[in-house]
Structure 1
Amino acid sequence: MALLDDVKKALRISEATTDFDGEIQDLIDAAKADLGLSGVMSEKVIDTDPLIKRAVVTYCKANFGYDNPEAERFQRAYDLIKTHLSLSVDYAWFTITFTVTGGGVPIDGATITIGDDELTTNSLGVATHTVNESGIDVDYTVAADGYETAEGTVYVDGDKDVEVVLVEA
């Protein structure tokens, strides 16, 4: 059964009725986009996952129609599901934000190497890297012209901020 049909059933709309299909599909798409914005991995936002399906159905129940007296209750329920998904190590991306400075000044163009990935800091000395695992150590190396190379490890159990202070060579 397609997700559209499941949502229509949850909204108590006959599968034979197609008058609202466009609006319902827009709500399904909005729910999926909202889950992605909250940090849920796009690879996990699939129609067959029971938790994703429950989140999408609840979102649609909260946002379908104009005179829904239960809209606020469904919205709170959706927000709770979304929060649980975005905090789950099985569903969420975690962001490591590196801030690289030297002599108290942000370093633009510093290279951060993590495995095979290379990041470059912006004018604020900031670069970000995402991982989809929790409870792991991520080794990194930071290099910039005129500075000594720095190495470190960050333990990922959620979003992390890493400050790296480079010493002039």
Structure 2
Amino acid sequence: MSGKDKLFQKAKVAVRSTFDDEELDMELNDLIIAARDDLRVFGLVEKAKSSETVDSSLITQAILLYVKANWGYDNPDAARFGTLYQQLKDKLSVSTQFLQGDAYEI
């Protein structure tokens, strides 16, 4: 599969996956892209949209929490990870450091 997001391997580890299936790889990659889109729509850094730029560690953590919350159908921890993602997204949204258009140090 080509076009994997730069966080793909980290996400694969985060969901504790050892699969080698192209369709599941695409699903995992799509979740990463959805997380980036959600952060961007929420008004957070435009850099969250691009898989070519370097993310801050907090943006990376938010993306991985989103993936963990949405991976699998019978994930008993989905609600907990979803809550953690929302809490981190809320904190980032009140920080001028992470609002679109502002530069930040990594």
User: Larger relative CO (CA 8 A, sep 6+): 1 or 2?
Assistant: 2
Aligned to 1:68: 75
Larger radius of gyration: 1
The correspondence for 1:27, drawn from 26, 31, 37, is 31
Gaps of 5+ in 2: 1-5
**Aligned residue identity for 1:17:** D
- Cα RMSD for the two superposed structures: 1.9
Query: Which of the two has greater strand per residue?
Result: 1
**Aligned residue identity for 2:83:** R
Q: Deviations over 1:106-127 (max 9, x none)?
A: xxxxxxxxxxxxxxxxxxxxxx
SS in 2 for 1:90: helix
Aligned to 2:64: 57
Does the 8 Å contact 1:3/1:47 carry over to 2? no
Deviation, 1:72, is 0.5
Deviation, 1:47, is 5.0
Percent of counterpart pairs with the same letter?
A: 37
Deviation, 1:61, is 0.4
SS in 2 for 1:66: coil
Aligned to 1:87: 94
Moved over 6 A (4+): none
Provide closer, same or farther for how the CA distance between residues 37 and 76 of structure 1 changes in structure 2, counting only shifts above 3 A: same
What TM-score comes out, normalization by structure 2 length? 0.78
Gaps of 5+ in 1: 94-130, 134-169
